[in-house]
Amino acid sequence: MANEDTQNPGANGNGGAEAGPQLSVQKIYIKDSSFEAPGAPHIFQEQGQSRVELNLGQKATQLAQNVYEIVLTVTVTCKVGEKTAYLAEVQQAGIFGCVGFDPQQLDMVIGTWCPHVVFPYARQAISSMIEQGGFPAFLIQPINFEQIYADNLRRRQQQAAA
């Protein structure tokens, strides 16, 4: 029977080259957050239908070879009539190790998988800020990062063709 170390790929001295592409989450953190309730406490007495607007942004930065920071910016603005009830924003970030991907695969991983990992943390941070601000709970619905990536890729290809 051969003595194989299945817990530590690459223990056989070849650096794990046969393992293929590898992804690792190195750190998840809040880079920036803010909550404003400019009309408080009077906004709590306002009557009328509230309108909630959600904006989502994403930025990727290469920090070192095979190491990337992904920052997901989530902004939620709630208005009652023309008055802003609250504005909550979080920049939730993650540092990811990405080894062994070709450029196209890497672009897809950074555009889909990494935001999927970071998103639940951003959703929780936004929800907590809004509730602690004295407003009803707000739960952001799941985001289809694959569709966003596909739309952005299509846009980039159209711009390159133009």
Q: Is residue 91 part of a domain?
A: yes
Q: What is the CATH number of the domain that holds 54?
A: 3.10.420.10
In angstroms, the CA 148 to CA 108 distance is: 11
Q: Is residue 67 part of a domain?
A: yes
Q: Domain span at residue 47?
A: 21-136
Q: Is residue 143 part of a domain?
A: no
What's the pLDDT score for residue 18?
61
Q: Is residue 105 part of a domain?
A: yes
Tens digit of pLDDT per residue, the chain (162 long)?
A: 444 444 444 444 444 456 789 999 999 999 999 999 998 999 999 888 999 999 999 999 999 999 999 999 999 999 999 999 999 999 999 999 999 999 999 999 999 999 999 999 999 999 999 999 999 989 999 999 999 999 999 998 999 998
In angstroms, the CA 72 to CA 66 distance is: 19
Query: Of how many residues is the chain composed?
Result: 162
- Please count the other Cβ atoms lying within 10 Å of the Cβ belonging to residue 92: 25
Counting the structural domains of the chain, the total is 1
N-terminal to C-terminal alpha carbon distance within the chain: 61
Nearest-CA neighbor of 78 among 31, 40, 116, 115?
Answer: 40
